[in-house]
Structure 1
Amino acid sequence: MIRKKSRREESLDYAELARLLPAPGDPHLSLDRHLLLEEHLMNEIQSTAPAPAPSRRPARRVLLIGVPVTAAALAGAFAFTALTGSGGIDPAAATPPPVEAPVVRIEPGSTAQLASTVEHIAAAASASKTPEPGPGQYIYIKSEVSYLVVSHTDADESTAWVQPLHIREVWNSPDGKQGWLDEPGYKPKGGVTLDSDVESSLGGPSYDYLKTLPTDPDALLKKIYKETKGQGNSPDQEAFATVGGLLGEQLAPAKLNAALYRAAAKIPGVVVVDHAKDAAGREGIALAHVDQKSGDRTEWIFDPKTYAYLGSRAVQVKQAYGIKPGTVIESTAVLERAVVDAQKQRPGAQGTGA
């Protein structure tokens, strides 16, 4: 076949031009550059769309796995939103840069002492003097926390990055309708409102709602399985996660606390880990359960002498999503739990506001 050369074909076509020019580079953005792009994109989004009410419970984790440079901004929007919550961050203050996730030796878990350990924990919970919040008062929880930010970047496929340990304070009214969250560096300066008209549930319980739950462990566990059916990676994992969500940023009646621990012991796969550390570095004994899909083990940590709840930790025990075993992808420590007279008031500052 004889092709007629058109006027356009007198110049180099794209294939010929590509052959003559040097190959384009394949640059990798640094982690700091990734985060800068994420912040810029989120500021653009927040300037054009109203933010919904922030979640009462922090996002459990964020995975940004091997993100291509050309998609960094788009994927960053997901990661940044999930990390900071829908309340966003203070645009005038930089988010603290992430740090390498700590790596620990994986302590084996066992069911040998499960029954006796849970009874010690439940007995301590039953005997604790839990304050009863009254009308107009608030439940105050102060924690030290760190959550996963990035499992790995294109430039580094071996390191997971987490938030540096930081303080998180929550105030909630007994009915769950009013609240406040202060998390400097991750929420706007001064904090964000947690006011909500959403009815309380196991996924977002108020103190008043918790008082309505059964204190018989079997009945309680049956309710948890029924109301969380179809959620999470498995029914057992979701049940364990639901109980864990009631232990951190909430205040539960003593009898219910004891029932929650006894119910958790009945969940298949729950084990005792003899040695674990919370975010504050306190040593303890833990009740733990492995998420078979994500490969991490969530540990609820208790004081080895008093059996009081200290905090939680999530440790990767199976290679998944580029996270190597032993990596601590989440860590919390409850530093203070109290009832105060006003929103944003801290214990010891009664009547002064804080």
Structure 2
Amino acid sequence: MDELDLIRDRAESVGFAPAEHLAPARERLLAAARGDRPHGSRRWFWAAGASAGLAAAITAVVALAPADRIGIGAGVAHADPVRVLAEAAGVALREPVTAPRPDQFLYVRTESPGKRTREIWLSVDGTRDGLIGDTPVPGCHRGRDCRPAPAYRTDLPTTAGAMLAYLRAHDNGKDGNVNSLAKNVVTLAYERALTPASYAALFEAAAKVPGLTALDHVTDGAGRPGVGITWTNPADPPGGKLEVFVFDATTHQLLGTEQSAVTVKTFVDEAGQRP
């Protein structure tokens, strides 16, 4: 076991205390490293008992240092992907229910690496003209032969099994291509507004997909750190770029993906209006 393993083990087993207690613990650790102890104690720290001594010192610092000071957050190291998605579902269920008016627009601003941004305005009921950037998105109106595509979806499943069946039924990729299915999850999570129960079902359905993997030390498209969740499947094309969902390491709220991040999502009264 190396020093990083020791830090991770201790970080998972101890809590975090206020930042003002960090300085004394740091001084004790540095004093031990400098040898500000009797000769025998110094040999204990660096010789055969070094691992135990280092672990004790790490315990003091980790227990007192805030997560953002030492680079390890609660729920980041060795994260369980199913648990992260279950927590994300719980977060979604706790969101307040605020139904928009039919004549409003869903506004979503996403950010990608390099600070590239994308803005969309989609009709809540699908009958009004929206925008993707400066490009018009025609709504279904004025007697056109079409079906409205509402941005606010109240018709989606509210259970994990039914949502997974819906995702598979509306998947444009080949059977078993979980990366294609993940893209559909992104579309619903990013550019549609769902009821809390459907949002929760979306994450619960994702947790049922085989091949889930959690990734530490990832960032979303806006550079925010979190826990990454991705899928691997033999049916996916070799060498393809997998979608990696990024969740807040503490709240497990969805931040975005490695390629993009939702920075604003709300309802506005007109296409082109910003909150």
- 8 Å contact kept, 1:288–1:297: yes
Distance (Å, rounded) in 2 between the aligned partners of 1:215 and 1:132: 16
C-alpha change, 1:144 and 1:179, in structure 2 (3 Å) is same
Q: Does 1:137 align with 2:79?
A: no
SS in 1 for 2:106: strand
Q: 1:226 deviation in Å? A: 2.5
| Equivalent residues in 2 for 1:273-288, closer than 5 Å | 273-288=215-230
Kindly provide the CA deviation profile for residues 152-179 of structure 1, in whole angstroms up to 9, marking residues without a partner as x.
Answer: xxxxxxxxxxxx4312111111123431
Q: Does 1:303 align with 2:231?
A: no
- 8 Å contact kept, 2:79–2:227: no
State TM-score, norm by structure 2.
Answer: 0.62
Q: 2:150 aligns with which of 174, 181, 206?
A: 206
Q: 1:310 deviation in Å? A: 1.2
Q: 1:297 deviation in Å? A: 2.0
Q: 2:124 aligns with which of 174, 180, 203?
A: 174
| Equivalent residues in 2 for 1:1-354, closer than 5 Å | 113-145=80-112, 164-177=114-127, 178-182=129-133, 191-197=134-140, 199=147, 206-208=150-152, 210-228=153-171, 231-232=173-174, 234-290=176-232, 291-313=236-258, 331-347=259-275
Q: CA RMSD in A?
A: 2.5
Distance (Å, rounded) in 2 between the aligned partners of 1:272 and 1:299: 9
Distance (Å, rounded) in 2 between the aligned partners of 1:302 and 1:206: 27
After TM superposition, where is structure 1 displaced by more than 4 Å over at least 4 residues in a row?
Answer: 109-112
AA in 1 matched with 2:122: N
Q: 1:232 deviation in Å? A: 4.2
Kindly provide the CA deviation profile for residues 128-183 of structure 1, in whole angstroms up to 9, marking residues without a partner as x.
Answer: 2253211211111111125xxxxxxxxxxxxxxxxx4312111111123431122x
SS in 2 for 1:279: coil
- 8 Å contact kept, 2:179–2:243: no
- 8 Å contact kept, 1:270–1:288: yes
Q: 1:110 deviation in Å? A: 11
Distance (Å, rounded) in 2 between the aligned partners of 1:193 and 1:250: 17
- 8 Å contact kept, 1:233–1:293: no
- 8 Å contact kept, 1:276–1:301: yes
Q: Which residue number in structure 1 is paired with residue 61 of structure 2?
A: none
> Unaligned regions of 5+ residues in structure 1, if any?
1-108, 147-163, 183-190, 314-330, 348-354
Distance (Å, rounded) in 2 between the aligned partners of 1:167 and 1:114: 29
- 8 Å contact kept, 2:94–2:196: yes
**Where is the helix percentage greater, Structure 1 or Structure 2?**
2
Distance (Å, rounded) in 2 between the aligned partners of 1:338 and 1:112: 30
> Unaligned regions of 5+ residues in structure 2, if any?
1-75, 141-145
Distance (Å, rounded) in 1 between the aligned partners of 2:156 and 2:241: 29
AA in 1 matched with 2:168: Y
State TM-score, norm by structure 1.
Answer: 0.49
AA in 2 matched with 1:309: L
- 8 Å contact kept, 1:240–1:267: no
Kindly provide the CA deviation profile for residues 301-344 of structure 1, in whole angstroms up to 9, marking residues without a partner as x.
Answer: 1111222221112xxxxxxxxxxxxxxxxx11111111111111
Q: 1:269 deviation in Å? A: 1.7
SS in 2 for 1:139: strand
- 8 Å contact kept, 1:225–1:235: no
Kindly provide the CA deviation profile for residues 53-103 of structure 1, in whole angstroms up to 9, marking residues without a partner as x.
Answer: xxxxxxxxxxxxxxxxxxxxxxxxxxxxxxxxxxxxxxxxxxxxxxxxxxx
% identical equivalent positions:
28
